[in-house]
Structure 1
Amino acid sequence: MTIVSAEELEALRAVGRVVGLTLQGMKDALRPGMTTAELDAIGAELLASQGAHSAPRQVYDFPGDTCISINDETVHGVPDGRVIQPGDLVTLDVTAELGGYIADAAITVPLPPVSKVARRLCRCAASALARALQVARAGRPINHIGRAVEAEVRRWGFAVIPPLSGHGLGRTIHEEPTIPNFYHRRLTQPLEAGLVIAIEPIITAGRGKVVTDTDGWTIRTADGALSAHFEHTVVITEGPPIVLTKPEA
C-alpha cells in the first residue's frame, strides 16, 4: 500500500510496534529445551495481549501464529513438537494484523554454542538489511535494494536465495511490488514516497536453492546449508525510510 494520510501512518506504526515487541518477547523467552510450539504460544499470547492477530493464520490459515524456522529451514517453519537445541539458528518471523493494517519482521537468533560460520551468517544477514535500508529512498529504482543486499551478502562469502523476496504490504500480507534480494536489471520503477514494503534478506551458507517440505509450508535449503533471515517493514520517504517494526517504533 501507499500511505496517503497521517492516520494510516499512525495505524501502521501501531501494528509495527506490536510486531517488534512480539519478536523481542519471543527472543527473550527462547531457550534450548523448549518446543517450537511452546515458543509460538508465547508469540500468540504477546499478540493477543496487544489486541493483534496473526496475519498468516488469518489470511492463509497457517498452522501457527508465528513462523519458526531452524537451521536449514529458510521461511514458513511450522511450530510443532520439535525441541530447540543448543547450537541451533532459530528464525522468528512475526506478521501481525491490528485494525486492518499489517506489518512483518524477522530475526535469526543463534543459540550458543554456534559455529563461526553460523555466527557470521547471522551478522551478514543483519548487515545486508542495514545496507538495503540505506538505499531505500523515494525516486531510486527498486532494484537498488536488491543490488545492495546481493553485494553485501557476496562480500561476506554467502548467497542470497533468489525465489524468496521482500514485498509490498500494509492491507494484506503480500502486495506489489516484489523486492528481490538480488539485482534485477528490469526492476527500474522508482520507489514512491509513502510506499510500505518489507525488506528481508534471506541468505544461506550454501548454493541458494530451496525445496518445500511435505507439510506444504516449510521451505528449506536443498543442500541442507544453514539459513538466516532479517526483516523490517518500512515506509519509503525522501530521506531514510521509516522503520515500523522496531519495538520502540
Structure 2
Amino acid sequence: MTITSEMELAAMQRVGRLVARTLAHMRAAVRPGVTTEQLDAEGERVARAAGARSAPQLTYQFPGFTCISVNEEIVHGVPGPRVVAAGDVVKLDVTLELDGFMADSACTVLVPPALPEAVRLQRAARLAFNRGLDAARAGRRMRDVGAAVEGAARKEGAAVLRELEGHGIGRKLHEAPSVPNWADPRADVVLRDGLVIALEPMLAAAPARVVEERDGWTLRTHNRVLAVHHEHTIVVRNGAPLVLTLAA
C-alpha cells in the first residue's frame, strides 16, 4: 500500500508496534527445552490480547499463528513439537492484522552457545538490512535496494537466497511490489513517498537453493547449510525511511 493519510499512518504504526512487542515476547522465551509450539503460543497470547489476528492464517490458512524456522530452515516453518536445543539458530517471523492493516517482522535468535558461523550470519543479515534500508528512498529503484542488500551480505561472506524476496504490505499480507535482495534487473519500480514494504534479507552460510519440506510450508536450504532472516516493515520517504516494527 501507499500511505496517503495520517489515519493510515497511525493504523500502520499501531500494528507495527504490536508486531514488535509480540516478537520481543517470543524472543525472550527462546531457550533450550522450549518447543516451537510453545513459542508460537506465546506470540498468539500477546497478539490476541491486543485484538490482532495472524495474517498468515487469514491469508493462507497457515497451520501456526506465527512462522518459526530452525537452523537450515529459512522461512515458513510450522510450529510444533520440535524442541529447541543449545546452539540452534531460531528464526521468528510475526505478521499480524489489526483493524484491517498488516505489518511483518522477523529476527534470528542464536541459542547459546552460538557457533561462530551463526554469529557471522546473524551480523550479515542485520548489516544487509541496514544497507537496504539506507537505499530505500523515494526516487530510487527497487533494484538499488537489492544491490545494497546483496553487496553487504557478500562483504560479510554470506549468500543471498535469490529465490526469496520481500514484498509490499499494508491492507494485504503480500502486495506489489516485490522486494528482491539482489540487483534484479526486472526490479525497475521507482520507490515513492509513502510506499510500505517488508524488507527482509534471507541469507545462507554458502550458496544454496531453496527447497520445500514435506509439510508443504517450510522452506530450507537444499544442502542444509545454516540460514538467517531479518525483516522489518518500512515506509519509504523522501528522506530516511520510517521503520514501523521497531520495539518502542
Could you say whether these structures have the same fold, taking a TM-score greater than 0.5 normalized by the shorter chain as the test? Answer: yes
- 1:42 maps to what in 2? 42
| Counterpart residue identity of residue 186, structure 2 | R
**Counterparts of 1:187 and 1:158, CA distance in 2:** 22
Alignment of 1:59-70 (within 5 A): 59-70=59-70
Gaps of 5+ in 2: none
Aligned residues: 248
**Counterparts of 1:241 and 1:138, CA distance in 2:** 9
**Counterparts of 1:56 and 1:164, CA distance in 2:** 17
Q: Please give the TM-score of this superposition, normalised by the length of structure 1.
A: 0.98
1:137-163 Cα deviation digits (max 9, x unpaired): 000011111000000011011100011
**Counterparts of 2:142 and 2:219, CA distance in 1:** 25
- 1:171 maps to what in 2? 171
The answer as to 2:113 corresponding to 1:107 is: no
Pairwise CA distance, 1:31? 1.2
**Counterparts of 1:168 and 1:188, CA distance in 2:** 15
**Does the 8 Å contact 1:162/1:208 carry over to 2?**
no
- 1:2 maps to what in 2? 2
**Counterparts of 1:208 and 1:193, CA distance in 2:** 35
- 1:200 maps to what in 2? 200
Pairwise CA distance, 1:44? 0.3
Pairwise CA distance, 1:207? 1.4
**Does the 8 Å contact 2:236/2:242 carry over to 1?**
yes
Deviates more, 1:186-195 or 1:54-63: 186-195
- 1:128 maps to what in 2? 128
Q: Please give the TM-score of this superposition, normalised by the length of structure 2.
A: 0.99
**Counterparts of 1:237 and 1:176, CA distance in 2:** 17
| Counterpart residue identity of residue 148, structure 2 | A
| Counterpart residue identity of residue 197, structure 1 | I
**Counterparts of 2:237 and 2:208, CA distance in 1:** 32
* Partner secondary structure for residue 104 of structure 2: strand
**Counterparts of 1:25 and 1:174, CA distance in 2:** 25
Query: What percent identity do the matched residue pairs reach?
Result: 50
Pairwise CA distance, 1:90? 0.3
Alignment of 1:1-249 (within 5 A): 1-248=1-248
| Counterpart residue identity of residue 160, structure 1 | V
**Does the 8 Å contact 2:180/2:187 carry over to 1?**
no
* Partner secondary structure for residue 87 of structure 1: coil
Gaps of 5+ in 1: none
**Counterparts of 2:87 and 2:108, CA distance in 1:** 12
Pairwise CA distance, 1:186? 3.2
Supply the RMSD in Å over aligned alpha carbons: 0.7
